[in-house]
Amino acid sequence: MGRDLAHPVPVPNYSSPKDGIAGLQDKAAALGANGLINVDCYGDKGLFSFGSESFVCYGKAIKVP
């Protein structure tokens, strides 16, 4: 199944890595997770930033007993 490029998946961006990690923590908690692993943020000055510097962050939400 191919991706419809006319309707791309929105990618959240943040004003700083700190804000991005906080956003990931909030989303993880909403999903029932209590931790994050393999978290990274990178500056984006193009594709998703629309002209201003922003940061894209990603990681894996985990639930530790």
Q: What is the pTM (predicted TM-score) of this model?
A: 0.74
Give DSSP secondary structure letters for 7-25: SPPP---BSSHHHHHHHHH
* Top-confidence residue, 46 or 19: 19
Q: Are 50 and 15 in contact (CB under 8 A)?
A: no
- Closest by CA position to 23, among listed 32, 8, 42, 36: 36
CB 54 within 8 A of CB 42: no
Residues with Cβ within 8 Å of 7's Cβ and at least 6 positions away in sequence, in order, are none
- pLDDT-derived band at 11, boundaries 50, 70, 90: confident
What pLDDT is attached to residue 1? 43
